[in-house]
Amino acid sequence: MRVGILGGGQLGRMIALAGYPLGVRSTVLEPGEESSAGQVCPQISGEFDDFRALYELARASDVVTFEFENVPVESARWLAERVPVFPPPRALEVSQERLAEKQFFASLGIPTPPFAAVDSREQFDDAVTKIGLPAVLKTRRFGYDGKGQAVLRTQTDCEVAWAKLGGRPLILEGFVQFDRELSIIAVRGRNGQIATYPLIENVHRDGILHRSIAPADNPGEELNERAAEYASRVLSELDYVGVLTIEWFQDGPRLLANEMAPRVHNSGHWTIDAAITSQFENHVRAVCGLPLGRCDAVGHSAMYNFIGAVPSITEVLANPDAKLHVYGKSFRAARKVGHVTLRAATADELAEKLPEWDRQFERISGDVV
Ligand code: AMP
């Protein structure tokens, strides 16, 4: 099988790498000359709306997938007329627009924070009255890693946020005083088979994922089952094929859907080193029409992102629990350039080692490779 991947970032790289042991070859389409994925598989350089480049990708592929959700929906639809495209372009459409996404969750009976559409100053004031403060104002499109959003606590915050974001299609959400953030990664095969990884506990810094713990500490059977059941509603409704991620706020016993990503996800990187089948392998299996692998965690793990720079390799590997992944990207502020996963045999062992790991991988301190 030959898989075409729209997007040449680290997710594309890890999808391509997961394909090799199965005999699956990947080709990546990426606007830049060089890319993280392009270092491990052939790359076609072209924009995502360049139909000549898309045509070339279709010819090189038995199935096409994508590694980020801002691929133009028209390009995915155009490709789908020529070669199977998984996940389905409709999943892209829903997840590219925060209002459509929240309405989609609501239509499936999946709880979300309270939300309202904001298309004018008048609607903004009405929404603030209805939802109350604190609240979060977000752009409906092209928001990621906390970009294009503002937390509103006072009327002054509202004025400042409106001056910055007003005029674009926006959504106002109630600010959730969550206990913690969780995510679930689920996968659906071409034959409708569904498999789900255990809930993952995520900590963000400056809107960017900092640390994931898997399985989440003590989520309880009930919470895991509920998240898996919500995910399978989304998968079935979209006739989905591939890996899907849903991010949640846990507020006491409540799980509120924040957003979904129709792709493999940063909070699932631990699955490479600490699950029976990685999210990347299961994505490849799903889109290629192969049976899915088990999603069970092997022991307990913590994953830390390296943002902006990777610390000295020697230093990282001096920790015998560390499994290092470097993405081959140049170092730049706020850029995800690598990660490390550390495994422990039991939850108790993880809890014991976590403070030391937290200290070691707190934040990068200029000491680069
Ligand atoms: P997002 O880009 O929507 O995933 O938001 C980035 C981060 O902002 C989330 O991971 C949360 O930590 C925080 N956040 C977003 N929306 C809300 C909300 N409605 N209530 C509280 N925190 C939020």
Q: How far apart are CA 32 and CA 38, in angstroms?
A: 10
* Fold matches, 114-174 and 180-365: no
SS3 111: coil
The residue whose CA is least distant from atom 5 of ligand 1 is 146
Instruction: Locate the domains of the chain by residue range.
Output: 2-85, 114-174, 180-365
Tell me the best of 258, 259, 265 to mutate to test the pocket of ligand 1, counting ligand atoms within 8 Å of each CB and taking the most. Answer: 258
pLDDT given for residue 367 in this prediction: 43
Q: Is the CB of 30 inside a 6 Å radius of any atom of ligand 1?
A: no
Q: Is the CB of 204 inside a 6 Å radius of any atom of ligand 1?
A: yes
Residues 6+ apart with CB under 8 A from 213: 200, 201, 300, 301, 302, 303, 350, 354
Q: How far apart are CA 365 and CA 310, in angstroms?
A: 9
CATH of 114-174, one of 3.40.50.12280, 2.30.140.10, 2.40.30.130, 3.30.1490.20: 3.30.1490.20
pLDDT in tens, 66-114: 999 999 999 999 999 999 999 999 999 999 999 999 999 999 999 999 9
Residue ranges for the chain with pLDDT beneath 50: 365-369
Q: Is the CB of 273 inside a 6 Å radius of any atom of ligand 1?
A: no
Query: CA-CA distances (angstroms) from residue 5 to 18, 205, 206, 347, 367?
Result: 13, 29, 29, 36, 33
Total residues belonging to the chain? 369
Closest ligand 1 atom to residue 147 Cα is 2
Look up the CATH number of domain 180-365: 3.30.470.20
| CATH entry 3.30.420.480 includes domain 2-85 | no
Query: CA-CA distances (angstroms) from residue 130 to 98, 127, 168?
Result: 19, 5, 20
pLDDT in tens, 185-236: 999 999 999 999 999 999 999 889 999 999 999 888 899 999 999 999 999 9
The residue whose CA is least distant from atom 18 of ligand 1 is 175
The residue whose CA is least distant from atom 6 of ligand 1 is 146
Compute CA 195 distance to the chain's CA centroid, rounded to the nearest angstrom: 17
Positive or negative torsion for Cα 269, 247, 148, 363: negative
Question: Which residue spans within 103-193 are E strands per DSSP?
Answer: 115-118, 135-139, 149-152, 170-174, 180-188
Tell me the best of 69, 102, 133, 136 to mutate to test the pocket of ligand 1, counting ligand atoms within 8 Å of each CB and taking the most. Answer: 136
The DSSP result for 266-289, as a single string, is GGGTTHHHHBSS-HHHHHHHHHTT
Q: What is the pTM of this model?
A: 0.96
pLDDT given for residue 147 in this prediction: 76
Q: Is the CB of 173 inside a 6 Å radius of any atom of ligand 1?
A: yes
| 3-state helix/strand/coil string of 27-56 | EEEECCCCCCHHHCCCEEECCCCCHHHHHH
One-letter amino acid for residue 252 of the chain: G
For ligand 1, the distance from its centroid to the CA atom of residue 326, given in whole angstroms, is 27
pLDDT given for residue 144 in this prediction: 64
Between helix 73-80 and helix 51-59 the angle, nearest 10°, is 40
Compute CA 105 distance to the chain's CA centroid, rounded to the nearest angstrom: 17
Residue 341's region, left for phi above 0, alpha for psi from -120 to 50, else beta, is beta
Q: Is the CB of 136 inside a 6 Å radius of any atom of ligand 1?
A: yes
